[in-house]
Amino acid sequence: NNVKLPDKFELGFDEFATGLPDTAVAPLLGQELSQVQMLMNILLDAKVDSVISLHRAPLPEERKSLSTPTPSPATGRTAAKTSTPPPTALQRNVVDVTFKATPAAARKVLNEIANSSGQFFIIRTLYVHNEKDKGPPRQRTEPTPPQAPQRASPQPGAAAPLNFIVGNEHIEVSATIEMLRFGS
């Protein structure tokens, strides 16, 4: 596919390359990994030039497992049992992705994300930056005097080759994408 990826690309799960996640959070991380893989497959199938970065926001459950202190035995006996909150019907995972592509490949990526049937994606923010800062120069042409009508040329389709002045550039696209997970 020749899509250039960042060095040590871990699909946004860099912290788990060296250590395992908490057992309670592992199923949610597995679901999120599947979502990120779908997103990356969309980018690879569209044949973007390169993926510059992919960052994911940690799940709330990840933060809880890291920040919950172990209660001391004395407070553990006196603390009232609290019920766990009911599961929410909708959970969101946020991913920031930046890639370079041709305008056609970028359109294909955005259309595939918006029309994805396997995963519900929402593009929250989108930034598009053209690699060329300025447009093509304007050429001043003097009006040509009207010419006498000419006979039809033997090759009517033999025109000068078209010179495209817009559309040959590549763009850098940065998007914040929300991946929704529906509860059961």
The pLDDT value given to residue 20: 76
Say if 92 falls within a structural domain.
Answer: yes
Transcribe 114-147 into DSSP letters.
HT-SSSEEEEEEEEEEES-SS-PPPPP-PPPPPP
Q: Are strands 120-130 and 90-101 parallel, antiparallel or unpaired?
A: unpaired
* CATH assignment of the domain containing 57: 3.30.70.60
Q: What is the pLDDT of residues 74-98, one digit of tens each?
A: 444 444 444 445 566 777 889 999 9
Q: H or E segment at 95? A: strand 90-101
Give whole-number Cα distances, 37 to 34, 42, 105, 170, 173, in Å: 5, 9, 18, 24, 19
Say if 162 falls within a structural domain.
Answer: no
> pTM of the full predicted structure?
0.68
Average pLDDT value over all residues in the chain: 76
> What is the number of domains present in the chain?
1
The alpha-helical segments, DSSP class H, found in the chain are 26-45, 60-67, 73-78, 103-114
Q: What is the pLDDT of residues 116-173, one digit of tens each?
A: 888 889 999 999 998 877 766 676 555 555 565 555 555 555 566 665 556 578 899 9
Range of the domain at 114: 1-63+88-133+169-184
Mean per-residue pLDDT, 70-76: 46
Contacts of 126 (CB under 8 A, 6+ apart): 110, 173, 174, 175, 176
The one-character DSSP state at 90 is E
Determine phi and psi for 161, rounding to 5 degrees.
Answer: -65, 145
Distance CA 40, CA 51 (A): 9
**CB neighbourhood size of 142 (10 A):** 5
Highest mean pLDDT among 28-32, 67-71, 138-142: 28-32
The pLDDT value given to residue 77: 46
What would the two tokens of residue 104 be?
């056609």
Q: Are strands 50-56 and 90-101 parallel, antiparallel or unpaired?
A: antiparallel
Q: Which of 34-38, 67-71, 117-121, 175-179 has the lowest mean pLDDT?
A: 67-71
